[in-house]
Structure 1
């Protein structure tokens, strides 16, 4: 079988044997996977990563101990937890100190023809939901996590920094929750997509309005995003950080202290509501895929995904 390997900044496609299936896991055959900003950061050296990336996927179950799963089309949560520690017993397996993370930490990812995940991580994809929409479940769940962390009032006015892959999904989730979303970005075509989803979308100005929003989400994927978000946030407001960047981030903490701001890191989120939003059509992801490539063309796919203005690039198994 073929698999994608990252290392020393290179993207390679190599031949490999099918992985063995640990107890409690399922063997999955890839249908489609999405390249996200984290994958691009891993290529650049984030986490000192080398190995098989990929954590946004739709796959078929090929083998497992429970026959009712065989042949099912699935998506999967990316954190593989021990299920025994205090964090896991509290339902916070994503923070298990012994966890591995699909395609990121000690768990070969989805950019290969076959890979494994625990059965308990899998979610069945409704028949009516296409692969091209279902592949957005994992990043949409990350966007939904904001609603688990922050109370969003209907008609509340909030700012969203960034217009890229994740920012587009965050905008859709917050608009669906009833918020008035003001997106700031650099790309006219991406801003137009956000407008069609119900957001107010503005070209990023040289100077952002100071202390203008009680809630600000940073989804820029840049080292400057946090400082910009803090500057936008009103006293006693909240800044939600959705970006992971390889670069070192420096922040003047004086405004955080003086204005009594709350900073919230936000990562993975709940799959069930993400699946419901996509299956019902409440969240529309059509138009967010820029291009698709065969797995064997992963080097070209990564190069395309890194180009300015590109949204989601898919790899097909």
Structure 2
């Protein structure tokens, strides 16, 4: 089997990987498309130093075998985190924070940068017939953007800023725009900011203490300190970035200014599928490569890059 394997130092393209054998509760998926996330790039920089295995967690695939016969032959997308069901977080309704969780392409579980993958059947979601693969591939990152709305009530009579002008920022901004909030997107690249103009104000320089909510979507260590400058006292920072590295902050200012910082990660798939199917979210096309050309995919400046696999 062809796959992209992380050996602890770098990603390596291989053609000698065994087709995985599903466990008792798992399904075998033939991958149709998989997409590169910024987190995958951070894995290469040491974000998950203990991981060894096939990378990738954003995919659309076809179910080859499953303990649920109704899924066989269906197109599916899938969640990242396989939980144990018994730890304190699973028992208290927080399975994505399971103490023993396995995370696709990042922690104790091979991912989707390969021809086949196994996944816990409970994590699968059927792709509606009307939704093409090249749009369904955005389900996971859109779900992550939607997680914000499960965590924080966004008052539509206040204002918000999205910090960043990349993929996650575009998804997060469109989700926030659905609430009717007065939205500004702050980025570094005027050409990228053009994508945001249909639903948000755009600028390359935000207003200090100008926003009640600031969604930090830069994917960079510099994002959180900048967000703290932009948010108003008693405001809320929504932290979406994950990266390899640490940030030095004056945490006393969080206390003095009574700021709320909300970490936000994985989110609900079914609402994401509905929004995509109903054309409520508008995204550029994914730029596709063969798996052997992974270096080009990882270096691509396109909105989204990924891999296509023969039928």
Instruction: Determine the structure 2 residue equivalent to 1:5.
Output: 5
Instruction: Determine the structure 2 residue equivalent to 1:302.
Output: 298
CA contact 1:28–1:63 (8 Å) conserved in 2: yes
CA contact 2:4–2:11 (8 Å) conserved in 1: yes
Instruction: Determine the structure 2 residue equivalent to 1:14.
Output: 14
Instruction: Determine the structure 1 residue equivalent to 2:252.
Output: 254
Distance 2:128 2:185 in 1: 31
1:219-238 alignment runs, 5 A limit: 219-238=217-236
4+ long deviations beyond 4 Å: none
Q: For structure 1, which runs of at least 5 residues remain unmatched after alignment? A: none
Distance 1:231 1:303 in 2: 31
Counterpart of 1:172 (choices 174, 180, 183) is: 174
Instruction: Determine the structure 2 residue equivalent to 1:280.
Output: 278
Instruction: Determine the structure 1 residue equivalent to 2:264.
Output: 266
Distance 2:209 2:189 in 1: 24
Instruction: Determine the structure 1 residue equivalent to 2:84.
Output: 82
Q: Deviations over 1:124-172 (max 9, x none)?
A: 0000001111000000000000001111122431011001110100011
* Deviation, structure 1 residue 13: 1.3
* Deviation, structure 1 residue 299: 2.5
Instruction: Determine the structure 2 residue equivalent to 1:313.
Output: 305
Q: Deviations over 1:233-262 (max 9, x none)?
A: 111111110001112211111321111001
In the alignment of these two chains, the number of paired residues is 307
SS at match of 1:183: strand
CA contact 1:293–1:314 (8 Å) conserved in 2: yes
Instruction: Determine the structure 2 residue equivalent to 1:212.
Output: 210
Distance 1:170 1:122 in 2: 23
CA contact 2:67–2:121 (8 Å) conserved in 1: no
SS at match of 2:54: coil
RMSD of aligned alpha carbons: 1.3
Instruction: Determine the structure 1 residue equivalent to 2:186.
Output: 184
Instruction: Determine the structure 1 residue equivalent to 2:27.
Output: 26
CA contact 2:184–2:200 (8 Å) conserved in 1: yes
Instruction: Determine the structure 1 residue equivalent to 2:156.
Output: 154
* Deviation, structure 1 residue 9: 4.5
**TM-score, normalised on structure 1?**
0.93
CA contact 1:77–1:138 (8 Å) conserved in 2: yes
Counterpart of 2:100 (choices 93, 98, 101) is: 98
Instruction: Determine the structure 2 residue equivalent to 1:136.
Output: 138
Distance 1:288 1:178 in 2: 26
Distance 2:127 2:148 in 1: 23
CA contact 1:7–1:43 (8 Å) conserved in 2: no
SS at match of 1:47: coil
Distance 2:6 2:139 in 1: 24
Distance 1:316 1:202 in 2: 35
Q: Deviations over 1:41-92 (max 9, x none)?
A: 0011112143211111100000112221110100001000011223213331
Instruction: Determine the structure 1 residue equivalent to 2:39.
Output: 38
Instruction: Determine the structure 2 residue equivalent to 1:64.
Output: 66
Counterpart of 2:115 (choices 108, 113, 116) is: 113
CA contact 2:128–2:277 (8 Å) conserved in 1: yes
* Deviation, structure 1 residue 34: 0.9
